[in-house]
Amino acid sequence: MFPRRAISSRRGFLFAAGSIVGVAGASRIARAETPKAPPGAVLYDVPADPTKEQGRPVADGSYGTRSQFETEVRMRYPTPNENTSWSLTPLDKSLGNITPSGLHFERHHGGIPTIDPAKHNLLIHGMVDQPMTFSMADIKRLPSVTRKHFIECSGNGLTEWNKPTMKTVQGTHGLLSTSEWTGVQFATFARETGLKVDAAWVLAEGADAAVMTRSIPMEKMLKDALIVYGQNGEALRPEQGYPLRLLLPGYEGNTHIKWLRRLQVSDKPFMTREETSKYTDLLGNGKARIFSLDMDAKSVITFPSGDMKLPGPGFYDITGLAWTGRGRIQSVDVSVDSGKTWYPARLESLAEPMCTVRFSFPWMWDGKTAVLQSRCTDETGYVQPTLKQLIAIRGDNGPFGSIYHLNAIQSWAVSEAGDVTNVHA
């Protein structure tokens, strides 16, 4: 109804296809998945009245599919190299707080490795009393916890510093996803190996072709770091680090090392390529800020959002997501007049630490032009800034200035015709 993407034409195809098969006398035969089926779905003929025909039998040994009428997919950013690239979660189609594992955003530096869990180990060494190697079986014998946390790439929105570039919220904010993670606290491993008195940093290393590495403060590791093997009730997916991943609640995404194979304890950071020349924040004065690991409070309206079209004046339930890397979201405000007036939004669930929360706000659109915005406040009192306020601190991305950590207020303009566009306001 609201997105410009013509879902109706898709259904038209399905009905047409069903008619053809019906003429052929095979109306209830499930077709094999074809390139025309949405990813994760199988095409079936659609009966005119499902109460008049027996449904499909309960399959044995199956994994399940999603409806053939649900078409949302991730979108790969068009980098020249497909192995060093990223894909974006369709936030405009998301429901609630949890991201389906199949739609969780991806960021890879050397492609997705294939790893046999029976041969995968985690080595913990360096400034420890007893270096130890843990097999996957060893790890799963330890006490586990299950918690919901978001992961956001520090580059989420990096195209938007100077001018509105991406049309949709998937493009502007899609490097954000939330899952329910299951694993073992790092503190448990630390008790097994023991830590030297001066142990202050941990180098986490992945088993991918890029051998991704990041240094993490020991304080963070002992506070809430998880070594996870479960996501949304099942094993991690290969693109999310199967069989083992480091999960650092609230930290920038590149530190959540996937395909985790080694943790080396030290008294100082290791100053790897990823934390010197890559994931640093270049400021307007030309100096670089490193180890800016916490993700600041941020929110975005996902409906209505870019490239949608409102059919006409009337009631709309504005909705979106808010999150912070420093604890819980305390409140969210919504404006429909470009920030001149702010109204409190309703939080639709209990705010959890380092987890997204969905908000909503009832809006009666009068058919005139409007600019929709949201801003959040976290439990530390930090208020999401405007883009102008953020640029005053970090520069405007040219020739010096930030690429990462863009957490400014997002603006969506609504025209009298109902077209919704990405604007700087």
Q: What is the pLDDT of residues 116-167, one digit of tens each?
A: 999 999 999 999 999 999 999 999 999 999 999 999 999 999 999 999 999 9
CA distance 391 to 39: 40
Which residue spans within 116-189 are E strands per DSSP?
121-126, 132-135, 145-152, 176-185
Can you give the pLDDT at residue 2?
Answer: 60
Confidence at 9, pLDDT banded by 50, 70, 90: very low
CATH tag, 101-289: 3.90.420.10
**Would you list the domain boundaries of the chain?**
101-289, 298-423
Is residue 188 a contact partner of residue 313, using CB atoms and an 8 Å limit? no
Can you give the pLDDT at residue 3?
Answer: 60
Which DSSP letter does residue 32 get? Answer: P
State the average pLDDT for the chain.
Answer: 91
User: Which run of H or E residues covers position 7?
Assistant: helix 7-23
Can you give the pLDDT at residue 141?
Answer: 98
The mean per-residue pLDDT over the stretch 396-403 comes to 72
Q: Which residue has the higher pLDDT, 124 or 17?
A: 124
Tokens of 44: 């079936």
- Residue 23 — φ and ψ, nearest 5°? -60, -35
Can you give the pLDDT at residue 21?
Answer: 38
Tokens of 391: 């640029």
The mean per-residue pLDDT over the stretch 95-104 comes to 96
CA distance 74 to 88: 5
Residue 202: is its pLDDT beyond 70?
Answer: yes
Residue 8: is its pLDDT beyond 50?
Answer: no
CA 224 to chain centre: 19
Residue 89: is its pLDDT beyond 60?
Answer: yes
CA distance 123 to 131: 8
Burial classification of residue 119, based on how many CB atoms lie within 10 Å of its CB (0-12 exposed, 13-18 middle, 19 or more buried): exposed
Give ∠ CA 236-140-126 in degrees, rounded to 5: 95
The mean per-residue pLDDT over the stretch 66-74 comes to 95
Sign of the Cα torsion 74, 79, 81, 85 reads negative
Closest by CA to 205, choosing from 124, 285, 103, is 124
CATH tag, 298-423: 2.60.40.650
The answer to whether the pTM exceeds 0.85 is yes
Model pLDDT for residues 208-240, shown as the tens digit of each residue: 999 999 999 999 999 999 999 999 999 999 999
Can you give the pLDDT at residue 31?
Answer: 54
The b-or-e profile of 244-280 (16+ CB within 10 A means b, else e) is: bbbbbbbbbbbbbbbbbbbbbbbeebbebebbeeebb
The b-or-e profile of 366-402 (16+ CB within 10 A means b, else e) is: eeeebbbbbbbbbeeebbbbbbeebbeebbbbeeebb
Confidence at 10, pLDDT banded by 50, 70, 90: very low
Model pLDDT for residues 338-392, shown as the tens digit of each residue: 999 999 999 998 999 999 999 999 999 999 999 999 999 999 999 999 999 999 8
Closest by CA to 274, choosing from 217, 221, 213, is 213
Is residue 148 a contact partner of residue 97, using CB atoms and an 8 Å limit? yes
Can you give the pLDDT at residue 35?
Answer: 63
Residue 34: is its pLDDT beyond 90?
Answer: no
The mean per-residue pLDDT over the stretch 176-205 comes to 98
Tokens of 35: 């390139």
The mean per-residue pLDDT over the stretch 45-64 comes to 94
The mean per-residue pLDDT over the stretch 240-262 comes to 98
Can you give the pLDDT at residue 4?
Answer: 61
CA distance 3 to 301: 14
CA distance 153 to 253: 4
Residue 416: is its pLDDT beyond 50?
Answer: yes
Residue 15: is its pLDDT beyond 70?
Answer: no
User: Which run of H or E residues covers position 389?
Assistant: helix 387-394
Q: Which residue has the higher pLDDT, 3 or 177?
A: 177
